[in-house]
Structure 1
Amino acid sequence: MTMTDNTVDYIAAADNSSEGNGIADEKYFATSDNTEQQEKHNISTNDSILEALNISKRFGDTIALKNVTLRLRRGTVHSLLGENGAGKSTLVKCIMGYYQPDEGQITVAGQEAEISRPQQAALAGIGMVYQHFTVIDNMTVLENIVLARPIIPRWVNWRNEAELITNKLKDLPFSFDLKQKVSSLSAGEKQKLEITKQLLLDTKILILDEPTSVLTPQEADFVLTELKRMANKLGLTVLMITHKFREVMQYSDDVTVLRKGQFVGSCSVTKTTPLLLSEMMMGEKMTVKPLQRKAWPNVSNKSFSVEKLSINNDRGLLAVKNIDLTVLAGEIVGIAGISGNGQSELVSGISGQRAIKSGSLAVDGKPFSPTRKNLQAAKVFCLPEEPLRNACVPNLSVAENMALRNFDLTSMSSGFGILSFSKIIQQAKSLILKFNVKTPSAFEPIGNLSGGNIQRAVLARELSNSVDVLIVANPCFGLDFSSIAYIRQQIMLARNDGAAVLLVSEDLEEVMQMSDRFFVMSNGEFIMESTPENADLVSIGQAMAGHMQRNAPRGEHNYEQAT
C-alpha cells in the first residue's frame, strides 16, 4: 500500500554542523521576536476572528509561555504544533479561561475578551473538545448534549429539547439516537458526540486537542473532511492541536509552531513541508536518510511469546482477553488499535507493572515472570508510553534516571554495596553522547528536558546493554519529526541486531512503517493479523472499530465482517 504522508519513508537526523537555533525560523516563518510579530507574522490579520497576543504564563519559577502570539483566520482550520512541553495546552487553556495569562490579551472578532472561566469562553463562541472524553457514560446522548450548555435551565422540557436537537442535527455531519446511553457508544462515536456538543452550542471557534487519537483511519478522514468543509463553507474556525504531519498538510489552512513556550512562527501550509515544520519545532536543520531494514531468515525459536493471556484494568474488568502472541528474534510485531482497547494493560502486564489475571509468558521457550530480576536476566527491556510518568523520576537527574536499570549491580558500586556516583555519572555522560540527548548536564533533573530528549534518555537506558526483547508503547506520541525519526531508527537497529520487538502504537502509520507483521486489537482481543504489504485500510478500520469478528479457530487468520 502507499502511504500519503512523506514523513513515514525517511529518517531525519539533526544537522549538528549548523550553528545556533532558529535556522528555519527566519527563512520560512515569522521571527520569534514578538516585538516584530505584527509585521512579520505570515498570516493575514485582516480577517482574524481570534487573537491571543503576547501571552505569557508562569507557574512558580517555570515559564510555560513567553510572549506567544496566535492568530486564527475566520473560516479556516489552523494547526498548532510543538513537541510535548512546548506550551500548546497552556496556551489553549488560557484561551478557554482555565488559566489567566500573566501578560497579554485575547481578542474575539476584534474586541478584547475577558475570559476568566470556561463558561465565559462558551458565551464568546469558543468551545473545546479535549483529548479525554467529558461525556457521562450512564446518561443518554440527549442528556449529555443539554448538560454541555454553559447555562442550564432549572427545569428541562426533554420532549421539546429532543425535537429541537433532532432538527439541528439534520444540518450537522454526525447523527445519533438521542435515547441511546453513551456507555454503548464506541470511542469514535463518543468523539463525534464531543464535537457535536460544541457545534450545537453555535460555537464559532472550535479547539480540538488530538482529535483523531481515538478514531479509525476512515473516521479520522471523515471527521476532518467535514470540519474543513464547515470551516471553508460555513465560517467555522477550527484550532487543532495535533502531532500528525499528514493531518496538518492535508486538512489545515494555516499552522503555528511553538517551541519551549515561545512563538516560533506561523504560515499557510502551502508554504511549508513536514521537514520544515520539524526544523521549526526543533530549532535546527535536518537531513533525511532511508530507514534500513535487515532481512532475517525465518527462524523457529520463539524469542518472546504469550499464551492465553488475560489482564484486568484498574476497575477490575477484563481488558486483555485470552490472547496468544509470538514475536521472533529479528522481527517487529506491531499492535494497532484505538486507544482504550486493552493495549495499555497488555504492555503494563507483560512488563511487570500490572498483575496478570491468567495465562503465561515465555522467553526463548522458557516460562517467564516479569520481575525486575527476571527482566534483567532475560534481557527484556521496555520503552513505555508517557515515559516521564511511567519510566522516570522527574526530580532525579538525568544520570540517576539512566541508572535505574543497573544501579544495584556490582558494576555500579564502589565496593561493600555502596553506590558509586562517579560510575553513574560516567555512564550517563557516555549514553548522553551516544544517544545525542540534549541536556545542560548529566545533573539536570530529567523533568526539565523536552519530550524528545526524555524519550532519548529512557531509550538510552533500555538499549545500553544487549537486548533480546524490546517492548515499545506509543514511542513517538507528541514528538517532533527529528525525535520521531531518531526513536524509530533506534528501534529498527535493535530489530536488526536480533531483538524481538513488540511495538504497540495508536499511530497506524507508525505500525505500518515499522512492523514486519501486525495485529489489530479491539475490545481486548486480536481481531486480525496482516503484513504491511498485504494490508487493506478498509479492513483495518473495520477491525479497529470492532466491526469484524473471527470466523476461524485461534491461530488462524480468516475473518468476516460482523453483521
Structure 2
Amino acid sequence: MDIAAAPTPTTAADPPSRPPQLDVVDMTKRFGRLVALDQVSMTLKPGTIHALLGENGAGKSTLVKCVMGFYQPTAGQVLIDQMAQPIHSPQAAHAHGIGMVYQHFTSVPAMTVAENLVLSRYEGQALIRWQQEYEELRAFMARSPFQIDLETPVSQLAAGQKQKLEILKQIYLKSRILILDEPTSVLTPGEADEVLGLLKAETEQGKLSILLITHKFREVQAFADEVTVLRKGQLAGQGQVQDLTNQDLAEMMLGQSRPPQTVDKLIDLAAHPVLSVKDLHVQRNDGLDAIQGIDLQVHSGEIVGIAGVSGNGQRELIEVLAGQRTASRGTVSVQGEPYYATRAEMARHQVFALPEEPLRNACLPNMSVAENMALRSFDQPPQARWGWLLSFRAIRSMARKLVETFSVKTPSVETPISHLSGGNVQRAVLARELSSDSIRLLIAANPCFGLDFAAVEFIHRSLVEARNRGVAVLLVSEDLDELLTLADRILVISEGRLVYESAIADADRSTIGQRMAGQLEPS
C-alpha cells in the first residue's frame, strides 16, 4: 500500500536514439612522480564494443577511473559527442549516460532482484511506490536483454545471473555507455558467451556502446569491434579487431615480437599414483557440505585439472589438502600413506602448494621477500644449525638465487613482500614451492588469477616443466582455457561433486560448460 506520494527519483533523461560517442583525448594522470597514464587517446564509437587490453599496471584502471570521475586527469579531456565534458564524480558520469559494471558483485544478497534494481535508483528517498515500481520493472524486464525473476533473492541466484543483474542495473539507470571490468571472470564458458552475445546484439541494434576490459584474447576476437592496447601507461596500439591476430595483440602488450613459449609434454612410462582421495566429505564454515564424496587420483608426471564455477567446493578441497581445513569424512593418501597435511607430512612427502590469493594464504605480508622464501626451509641447513640457530646470511643468499632464477622483480630481498606486485608475489611463492629437486606433489589453485600476460606464461611453463620432471600436479582453475592448455586429464566440480572426467584429448568443451553450470544431462 502506498503510504504517501513519493518524490520522483532522479534518473537520467530518456535515452536518445543512439548512445553518444565517447572520446578520451590526450589523457594524462600523474601520482607524484609516477606517470600512470601518458597522453592516451581512444574513441568508443556508438553501437560498438571496444576492448581495452594491457598487462597489470598498464593504465587500464586509471583510464577508466578518469572517465568515471573517480580520478581527475592531470591533462586531457573526455568528450561526449565531441563536446568536452568535465566529469568530477561517478554521478556526473551517470548524468552523461556512462555506467560501470565492476569485477565484484555489488547487489545486496538478502534483497530481491526487484529491490536491488529499485535501490540502485533511489538516493535518500524515504518512500517508494511499490505498485508503480513493479509495473515499471516488469515492463523494463520484458524489453531487457536478460530475464531474471524479480522476486528471487539475490543470494539464490547463480553467479551468471548475478552478473546479469549487475549489467541490468546499469541499463535500468539508462546508462547508454557501459564499462565492463572483466565481466566473465565468474562465469562458465557458456554463460560468458551468452552474456557477451546478448550485449553484442544490443550494440548492433544501436542501444548500447561497451568498453570491455578483458584479458581473454578469445573474447576480444569473438565480440569486440575495435581494440585499444596500453603498455606502461602509454598507447601501445589500436585497430579493428578483424585486422589483428592474437600474436599482434600480444606483441602490442609486451612491446616486442614474442612467439608463445611452449614446453613439450613428456610421457612418464613409470607413472604411479601420488595423490589419492577417497569418499572425501568437507563442510563449509556454516556446517553445510561443501564437498560430497569426492574420489580422485593424480599420478606422477600428470597434470589433473579441476574446472568449476567459483563456490562449488574448490576452495574447501584445496584447504584440506593444504592443511587449512579438516575433512569430516573420507581419506587422503600420498604415496600410499595416510596424509593429514601437517608441516612434517608435507616435508616428508614433498608436497608443495600454490594457493589462491598468495599474499593472504601463503605469505606473511610484513616480512621480507627473503624471509617468505625461507618459510619452507628456515629450520634446515644451511639456513639453520641444529634446527633453531638461523643464518640470515644463508637465507638472503638463497633468496637472491631464487629471485634471479624466477625473475622476481623486487628492489631487494629485504623488501617486504607486500610491496611487490601481484605477479611478483606469485613468482616469489612459485620460487619457494618449486625450488626443491625432490618435489612429488604440487597443488595449485587459480595460480594465474589477476596476473599479466608475461606472468601467466611463466607460471604455465613452470607447471609443465614440473610435470615433465615427474611431479604430480593438481591444478584447480576457473579459467577453462588454462585447463585445456595445461592438463592431461580434466574433471568438473559442481555443488561439491565431481560430475565429469575426461582425458584432455577427448574433452568436449560444450559438455564441460554444461556440467560447470550444473546441467548433468545433455541439452
CA contact (8 A) 1:387 1:454 kept: yes
Amino acid across the alignment from 2:105 = F
Provide the residue aligned with 2:151 in structure 1.
179
Provide the residue aligned with 2:27 in structure 1.
54
Provide the residue aligned with 2:5 in structure 1.
none
Whole-Å Cα distance in 2 between the matches of residues 467 and 243 of structure 1?
A: 32
**Change in 2 beyond 3 A, CA 1:260/1:412:** farther
Q: Give the match's secondary structure for 1:202.
A: coil
1:222-269 deviation per Cα after TM superposition (whole angstroms, max 9, x unaligned): 211221222233151111121111111221122233344454343332
RMSD of equivalent CA atoms: 2.8
Amino acid across the alignment from 2:352 = F
**Change in 2 beyond 3 A, CA 1:419/1:62:** farther
Whole-Å Cα distance in 1 between the matches of residues 38 and 363 of structure 2?
A: 27
Whole-Å Cα distance in 1 between the matches of residues 123 and 46 of structure 2?
A: 26
CA contact (8 A) 1:187 1:215 kept: yes
**Change in 2 beyond 3 A, CA 1:236/1:376:** same
Identity of aligned residues (%): 50
**Correspondence 1:337 to 2:337:** no
**Correspondence 1:475 to 2:458:** no
2:203 maps to which of 205, 228, 231? 231
Provide the residue aligned with 1:206 in structure 2.
178
Q: Give the match's secondary structure for 1:175.
A: coil
List alignment gaps of at least 5 residues for structure 1: 1-46, 549-559
**Change in 2 beyond 3 A, CA 1:335/1:279:** same
**Change in 2 beyond 3 A, CA 1:408/1:529:** same
Of 308-317 and 461-470, the range deviating more from structure 2:
308-317
Whole-Å Cα distance in 1 between the matches of residues 426 and 316 of structure 2?
A: 21
Provide the residue aligned with 1:463 in structure 2.
434
Deviation (angstroms), 1:161: 2.2
Provide the residue aligned with 2:15 in structure 1.
none
**Change in 2 beyond 3 A, CA 1:138/1:205:** same
CA contact (8 A) 1:55 1:105 kept: no
**Change in 2 beyond 3 A, CA 1:164/1:235:** closer
Provide the residue aligned with 1:82 in structure 2.
54
2:114 maps to which of 142, 145, 159? 142
Amino acid across the alignment from 1:327 = V
Provide the residue aligned with 2:456 in structure 1.
484
Amino acid across the alignment from 1:454 = V
CA contact (8 A) 2:59 2:230 kept: yes
CA contact (8 A) 1:146 1:152 kept: no
1:186-234 deviation per Cα after TM superposition (whole angstroms, max 9, x unaligned): 1111111211221222211111121112222122112112212222331
Amino acid across the alignment from 1:186 = A
Whole-Å Cα distance in 2 between the matches of residues 99 and 313 of structure 1?
A: 40
**Correspondence 1:352 to 2:323:** yes
**Change in 2 beyond 3 A, CA 1:457/1:126:** same
Count of residues in Structure 1 that have an aligned counterpart in Structure 2: 503
Whole-Å Cα distance in 1 between the matches of residues 55 and 80 of structure 2?
A: 27
1:129 maps to which of 89, 101, 120? 101
Provide the residue aligned with 1:430 in structure 2.
401
Whole-Å Cα distance in 2 between the matches of residues 65 and 394 of structure 1?
A: 28
Whole-Å Cα distance in 1 between the matches of residues 176 and 302 of structure 2?
A: 49
Whole-Å Cα distance in 1 between the matches of residues 75 and 316 of structure 2?
A: 42
Provide the residue aligned with 1:322 in structure 2.
293
**Change in 2 beyond 3 A, CA 1:168/1:484:** same
Deviation (angstroms), 1:512: 1.4
Q: Give the match's secondary structure for 1:326.
A: strand
Matches within 5 A, 1:356-375: 356-375=327-346
CA contact (8 A) 2:69 2:89 kept: yes
Amino acid across the alignment from 1:51 = V
Whole-Å Cα distance in 2 between the matches of residues 386 and 84 of structure 1?
A: 16
CA contact (8 A) 2:230 2:253 kept: yes
Matches within 5 A, 1:271-420: 271-297=243-269, 299=271, 301-413=272-384, 417-420=388-391
Matches within 5 A, 1:520-535: 520-535=492-507
State the TM-score, normalized to the length of structure 1. Answer: 0.81
Provide the residue aligned with 1:13 in structure 2.
none
**Change in 2 beyond 3 A, CA 1:344/1:258:** farther
CA contact (8 A) 2:380 2:387 kept: no
**Change in 2 beyond 3 A, CA 1:467/1:228:** same
Whole-Å Cα distance in 1 between the matches of residues 474 and 427 of structure 2?
A: 18
Whole-Å Cα distance in 2 between the matches of residues 84 and 360 of structure 1?
A: 40
Deviation (angstroms), 1:395: 4.7
1:507 maps to which of 479, 503, 521? 479
Q: Give the match's secondary structure for 1:467.
A: coil
**Correspondence 1:93 to 2:65:** yes
Whole-Å Cα distance in 1 between the matches of residues 304 and 387 of structure 2?
A: 43
**Change in 2 beyond 3 A, CA 1:202/1:545:** same
CA contact (8 A) 1:243 1:477 kept: no
CA contact (8 A) 1:77 1:253 kept: yes
Whole-Å Cα distance in 2 between the matches of residues 150 and 49 of structure 1?
A: 27
Q: Give the match's secondary structure for 2:447.
A: coil
Whole-Å Cα distance in 2 between the matches of residues 342 and 539 of structure 1?
A: 20
CA contact (8 A) 1:312 1:357 kept: yes
Deviation (angstroms), 1:102: 5.3
**Correspondence 1:196 to 2:168:** yes
Provide the residue aligned with 2:215 in structure 1.
243
**Change in 2 beyond 3 A, CA 1:80/1:312:** farther
Of 535-544 and 284-293, the range deviating more from structure 2:
284-293
Whole-Å Cα distance in 2 between the matches of residues 456 and 276 of structure 1?
A: 26
Whole-Å Cα distance in 1 between the matches of residues 327 and 364 of structure 2?
A: 25
CA contact (8 A) 2:490 2:507 kept: no
1:85-133 deviation per Cα after TM superposition (whole angstroms, max 9, x unaligned): 4443344334333444455543433344444443333222111222121
Q: Give the match's secondary structure for 1:148.
A: helix
**Change in 2 beyond 3 A, CA 1:402/1:198:** same
Deviation (angstroms), 1:145: 1.4
1:148-183 deviation per Cα after TM superposition (whole angstroms, max 9, x unaligned): 226475432223222222223333221122222222
Deviation (angstroms), 1:394: 4.3
Greater relative contact order (CA < 8 Å, ≥ 6 in sequence): 1
**Change in 2 beyond 3 A, CA 1:447/1:167:** same
CA contact (8 A) 1:309 1:324 kept: yes
Amino acid across the alignment from 1:201 = L
Deviation (angstroms), 1:382: 0.9
Amino acid across the alignment from 2:400 = K
Amino acid across the alignment from 1:130 = Y
Whole-Å Cα distance in 2 between the matches of residues 479 and 279 of structure 1?
A: 17
Deviation (angstroms), 1:524: 2.0
List alignment gaps of at least 5 residues for structure 2: 1-19
Deviation (angstroms), 1:339: 1.7
Provide the residue aligned with 1:118 in structure 2.
90
Whole-Å Cα distance in 2 between the matches of residues 283 and 452 of structure 1?
A: 18
Whole-Å Cα distance in 1 between the matches of residues 418 and 55 of structure 2?
A: 14
CA contact (8 A) 1:79 1:240 kept: yes
Matches within 5 A, 1:256-271: 256-271=228-243
CA contact (8 A) 1:51 1:108 kept: no
Amino acid across the alignment from 2:268 = W
Whole-Å Cα distance in 2 between the matches of residues 267 and 478 of structure 1?
A: 25
Whole-Å Cα distance in 2 between the matches of residues 382 and 330 of structure 1?
A: 16
